[in-house]
Structure 1
Amino acid sequence: MDSTARLLIFLAGSLTLFLLKFLHKYWWIPFKIQRALSLQGIKGPPYEFIHGNNKASTRFRYEALSKPMASLTHNIVPRVIPQIHSWINTYGDDDLHNMNPAVIASVETMLEKWKGREGEEIEVFNEFRLLTSEVISRTAFGSNYLEGKKIFDMLTKLAILVSRNYFKTPIPGISKIWKTADEIESEKLANGIHDCVMEMVKRREKKVETGEADGFGNDFLGLLINAYRDSDEKNRFSIEDLVDECKTFYFAGQETTNSLLAWTILVLAIHTKWQEKTRQEVFEVFGDQNPNSEGIAKLKIMNMVVNETLRLYSPVAAVIRQIKKEVRLGKLVLPANLEILIPIIALHHDPQLWGDDVHLFKPERFVEGIASATKYNSAAFIPFSMGPRSCVGMSFATTETKVALSMILQRYAFTLSPTYVHAPFPVITLQPQHGIQVMLHPL
């Protein structure tokens, strides 16, 4: 082989290597990053080959700086970082923006049913259970109420069995020889939930296979299926992971909202002055129109009421964390495999943290925000836990509660029924043992 041929082979090889490196950097890596974020529900402006978002950023910046601000205002974000301002409004909390229509439609259905019961007693905890199961079915799984109800009923029964046997000490290996009636029923329910989830998954997969849909969807179930089918084994979900995530989101997304909404109605039914303050704010922000995402963020009084309800009636009374390796906590040395119970509701009712009026309903504690209310002790108020293991449904639950509460306050005043019996008890979440009965008074 002569020198010319060797040179051509070298140049061809060099060019091929250059192209591969070029495509890897400017196409494969951005694509992989964007897909990884998309699977977690994080959206943003689409990547442009080579340029990324630089051309769009330059265009935003040129338009913003081409003229002075129209008025003397401290709202300088749209001018200083115009592209970020635009993308936050377009993509920020996109999942929560998309859930509002489904929440509103479900609440309207519930309120339409209430019209025939005006002036009567109504048990709101069960009403809200139906509402929140409908919302989570629509927004996260694209399924109907009946399908969601089937799963919720099984999850509720399973939660009762778990709670009933929580403090019983299992004997290692005995369940392989002999099972209690509760263990047999628990396995039956778990298998039933698994089958229901897989039916939803198979329907999504079939639509893609037949060309009826070009993807598995952007809701929670769609993201899980994408993870289940990930080409990278390291990132791929097992079928057990998928089903477990569905169970957690179904139950946590529904039960926490149900609990929060019901206890908020209770405290407002007792403290009617705060009910009226909250109603006035809702009318000031929305008038008689349905709530929207922008308005929900402006509800300061409602936010104070919701936070105080979360303090007094935390949906989750306690959480357990297991220590994987020996760790020092202050002056203590905690050994591996130790389980620590964090009593959320006890922290929220601790007079050393909140003062002697700790058991009183005082939303004004939060008038200057959570940090001020807790005297900058972040662990004093943890209704959804904290840190990397905090509840993924926190924003979902509080937003749904505020939307539903706004729509109820626009139509009804409510007072506590004399038949109400105060008996909070924990079944995974904090529930009223005998329901919450209120009297509806149309405005």
Structure 2
Amino acid sequence: MDIAVLIALAVCFPIAFWCLKLLYFVWWRPKTVENELRQQGIYGRPYRFLFGNLKEMIEMNKIAKSKPMPLHHDYTPRLNPLFYELAATYKKLYLFWLGPIPRVTILDPKLIKEVLSNKSGEFRKPKISAFLKLFVTGLGTYDGEKWAKHRKILNPAFHMEKLKLMLGAFAHCTEDMISRWDKQTGSTGSCELDISQEFHSLTGDMLSKAAFGSNFEEGKLVFSLLREQCELIFTAKLAINVFPWLRFVPTKTNRRRLYIYYTVRNSLKGIIEKREKEVQSGKAHNDDLLGLLMKSNQEEQQGDMNSSKGMSTEDVIEECNSFYFAGQETTATLLTWTAIVLTMHPDWQEKARKEVREIIGKDEPKFDQLNQLKIVTMILNEVLRLYPSGSLVRETNKKTKLGEYTIPSGAQLLVPLQTIHRDTEAWGEDALIFNPERFSEGVSKAAKDLMYFPFGWGSRICLGMNFAMIQVKLVLAKILQYYSFELSPSYAHGPTMPALVLQPQYGAPIIVRKLS
């Protein structure tokens, strides 16, 4: 055989192999999976070559978000109109294609509990992509032994007694914000603020102090860069899901993402190394999250030569990264929606203010007093029900039974919080109405089947739940002591989810008025 023919065959066979493999991944396998699910009664929009249902979802989202919506809490048709349409058609179970990846969306309470209890360990968190790792990893993205190890080491840092020690730092940051408001209100006694920006700045300060203590300013820089990284990552996420190789193209945006990634890691590594030297010289700071984490990690490794028992420096960096999203972004968003909702329902704002005055007066809020704020807690629970962030996603790595269904390997299972938190079967006919009274006897009696997941579930309940709630109650109490607030005429209602948290699309302009 001619040597040229051999060379041609040597080149063509690998190319043909990879082409067939690609065709299997983007066409044959999705259509096979689609057929398997249809035979079981799981329907949805048909799979489209390469993009799945992404194109139609993007187009529908673009139209829905092209203008504000009326001032009410039923924003799910606007948030994702395709999902809303599918849920209305198929009720408790439907199929959606994220590129060539099948997503089975579950609205049935029994199936949701089966997925989230995960007793057999078959419903795992999806593997985080190399692209998303540029933003954040940490405890929230782990499963199995690594999750258990990190949870054990992190647990002491979020113990209630440790959180009490951070209350003073939280109060100081809040007082700084209110002092700024005092200057801005001036002689008129009122001013307009974008409350979302105010709360992002506040929670960034609070978390920088709580997480890094004396390295406060360095922490602020890290959080500022991570917020930018969050926006850069999620504006491109849909395209990268379909074309993963796009992240390697040296565009200006891709170069900026890498620059932020390495700058943040180097900054955090410097803070951690500085803290290690302080520990060695006897100047340890064990009253902030980083100090408590390092102390717990040291105790885990003590007396054991196997370093795998503790966290590596890289692990600590990842957990510091996750402080940003879990600690700042979600807390700022909860405060923002709480303020917006209380302007929409001034009667509940006044009830909360009356409670704060009765329990705390004009004094500095104490830890035990914050836990006595029953009406404030009811309000926060109801805001978390109506304006939760994100959805819960799990993945199968083999054919898995779910109720009467068999879910194929590699399929994702989605629990959309905004939808299940509005299910009239679970919450009653007033599910779309703001009604904190539903939580008057606590969370466990608020809904049938307890379809409520603002901070997680079961043994996986969010480690930072108490941390976030203490911050939010403190900030809300101090604002209610000194200010009333109402929506600005320029406010436009438009809940949207550009990343993992629910944001007001047009900002949150609010008029604050100083109380006499």
* TM-score (normalizing by structure 2): 0.64
CA deviations 1:194-226 (Å, max 9, x no partner) are 0111111011012233x251x463532124434
- d(CA) in 1 for partners of 2:151 and 2:387? 34
2:205 aligned with 1:134: yes
How many Å apart are 1:365 and its aligned residue?
1.1
Which residue of structure 2 aligns with residue 107 of structure 1? 174
Per the alignment, do residues 179 and 350 of structure 1 end up closer, same or farther by CA in structure 2, a change over 3 Å counting? farther
Q: How does 1:16-415 map to 2 (within 5 A)?
A: 39-42=153-156, 93-118=160-185, 119-170=190-241, 174=245, 178-209=249-280, 211-213=281-283, 215=284, 217-226=286-295, 230=301, 231-314=305-388, 316-375=389-448, 377-378=449-450, 380-415=451-486
Measured in 2, the distance between the counterparts of 1:164 and 1:281 equals 42
- Larger RCO (alpha carbons 8 Å, 6+ apart): 2
Matching residue of 1:46: none
User: For 1:341, what is the secondary structure of its paired residue?
Assistant: strand
CA shift at 1:100, angstroms? 0.9
- Name the CA shift for 1:202/1:276 in 2 (closer, same or farther; >3 Å): same
Alpha-carbon offset, residue 120 of structure 1: 1.3
* Equivalent pair of 1:278/1:301 in contact (CA under 8 Å): yes
Q: How many equivalent residue pairs?
A: 357
Q: Quote the Cα distance in structure 2 between the aligned partners of 1:321 and 1:359.
A: 27
Quick one: distance in 2 between partners of 1:149 and 1:322?
35
Q: 1:403 to 1:360 in 2, by over 3 A?
A: same
Offset of 1:144 from its aligned partner? 4.9
Q: What is the alpha-carbon distance in structure 1 between the residues aligned to residue 436 and residue 240 of structure 2?
A: 41
Q: Is the 8 A contact 2:156 2:292 kept in 1?
A: no
Query: Would the alpha carbon gap of residues 265 and 141 (structure 1) be closer, same or farther in structure 2, given more than 3 Å must change?
Result: same
Contact 1:151 1:193 in 2 (8 A): yes
| 2:160/2:466 contact within 8 Å kept | no
Moved more, 136-145 or 255-264: 136-145
Q: 1:393 to 1:324 in 2, by over 3 A?
A: farther
Q: Is the 8 A contact 2:156 2:296 kept in 1?
A: no
Q: Which moved more, 1:100-109 or 1:241-250?
A: 241-250
The 3 A distance-change label for structure 1 pair 286 and 139 is: same
Q: Shift of residue 155 of structure 1?
A: 1.1
Cα deviation, residue 390, structure 1: 3.4
Q: How far does the alpha carbon of each residue in 1:278-329 deviate from its partner, in whole angstroms, 9 at most, with x for none?
A: 0111111111111111111111101110011001111x22132223454332
CA 1:342 to 1:134, structure 2 compared with 1: closer, same or farther past 3 Å?
same
Name which of structure 1's ranges 304-313 and 183-192 shifts more when overlaid on structure 2. Answer: 183-192
Radius of gyration: which is bigger? 1
Q: Residues 483 and 512 of structure 2 are in contact (CA less than 8 Å); yes or no, is this contact kept in structure 1?
A: yes
Gaps of 5+ in 1: 1-35, 44-90
- For residue 42 of structure 1, give the secondary structure of its aligned residue in structure 2: helix
| Matching residue of 1:58 | none
Identify the residue that residue 503 of structure 2 maps to in structure 1.
431
How far apart, in 1, do the equivalents of 2:179 and 2:432 lie? 36
| Worse-superposed segment, 393-402 or 221-230 | 221-230
Please state whether the residue corresponding to 1:167 is helix, strand or coil. helix
- Could you say what secondary structure the match of 1:110 adopts? helix
Instruction: Tell me the CA shift for residue 259 of structure 1.
Output: 0.3
Mapped partners of 2:228, 2:359: distance in 1: 40
- Is the contact made by 1:137 and 1:143 (CA closer than 8 Å) also made in structure 2? no
Q: Work out the CA distance in 1 between the residues paired with 2:191 and 2:248.
A: 54
* Worse-superposed segment, 413-422 or 147-156: 147-156
Question: 1:42-61, CA deviations, whole angstroms, 9 ceiling, x for partnerless residues?
Answer: 39xxxxxxxxxxxxxxxxxx
- Do the aligned partners of residues 175 and 38 (structure 1) sit closer, same or farther apart at CA in structure 2, a change above 3 Å counting? closer
CA shift, 1:92, in A, is 6.3
Instruction: Tell whether the 8 Å contact from 1:205 to 1:216 is kept in structure 2 after alignment.
Output: no
> Identity, % of aligned pairs?
35
Asked if residue 418 in structure 1 is aligned to residue 482 in structure 2, the reply is no
Change (3 A) 1:216 1:311: same
* Alpha-carbon contact 1:39-1:223 (below 8 Å) kept: no
RMSD, matched Cα:
2.6
- Please tell me whether the aligned partners of residues 216 and 226 of structure 1 are also in contact (alpha carbons under 8 angstroms): no
Shift in Å at residue 40 of structure 1?
3.6
SS of alignment partner, residue 328 of structure 1? strand
TM-score (ref. length: structure 1):
0.74
Q: 1:389 to 1:419 in 2, by over 3 A?
A: same
CA distance in 1 between partners of 2:266 and 2:400 (Å): 41
What is the distance in 2 between the residues matched to 1:408 and 1:168?
Answer: 42
**C-alpha separation in 2, matches of 1:151 and 1:103:** 19
Q: Is the 8 A contact 2:399 2:406 kept in 1?
A: yes
CA gap 1:174/1:287 in 2 versus in 1, 3 angstroms: closer
The answer (yes or no) to whether the contact 2:392–2:416 under 8 Å persists in 1 is yes
